[in-house]
Amino acid sequence: MRVFFKHLNTLRIRFYSDEIAKLNNDVKELTKQNSILSNKVGQYTKVTNSSEFDELEKILNSIEVKIPPNIIDGRENVIQTLFVLFETVQETLVTGVTNQSQQHESVYFLYNNVCPKLKIHGLVQNEKVASVRWRRFSITKKGQDFLAYLEKKKLTS
């Protein structure tokens, strides 16, 4: 009887080791397929982002913002597109635009007039700053990607 159980255990071990080997091969094959498909998805995402960003650029170019005279050397009736303003103040947006008191009027203009329009398109976000009464607009991941796309586009043209 002991010999029978010993033989049975040996058969089970062989069976399980064969199954484990098959499963390891399946895992390797699925990993290869996953890698190939991930590369294809990455390529599709780049195409989607570029067409999405081209569309976003058109939209921002169609939105006009009137700039107050006290911000641009007293000149009146200055109108600029939201796209130009976004490109012009990109460094300020990356560091953040706050509504804290005693700032230059141009910062208040950005905070109250430009950033809310950019927020609609997901380019900036309004966040509470810890332990203070003021808030801050900061650029989102989409905004960073859009700025990077614009930089690459400038370099290639």
Domain ranges in the chain are 1-47, 63-156
CA 37/CA 90 separation, integer angstroms: 35
Interacting residues of 57 by C-beta distance below 8 A, sequence separation 6+: 83, 150
CA-based nearest residue to 110, from 152, 75, 143, 65: 65
Q: What is the pLDDT of residue 67?
A: 92
pLDDT above 70 for 45: no
CA 110/CA 98 separation, integer angstroms: 9
Kindly state the tokens that stand for 44.
């599709």
pLDDT above 70 for 47: no
Tokens 């586009």, residue located: 153
Name the CATH architecture for the domain at 63-156: Orthogonal Bundle (1.10)
pTM confidence score: 0.68
CA 155/CA 157 separation, integer angstroms: 6
Local confidence band at 13 (pLDDT 50, 70, 90 cut-offs): confident
Kindly state the average pLDDT of the residues 2-30. Answer: 75
CA-based nearest residue to 63, from 123, 7, 3: 123
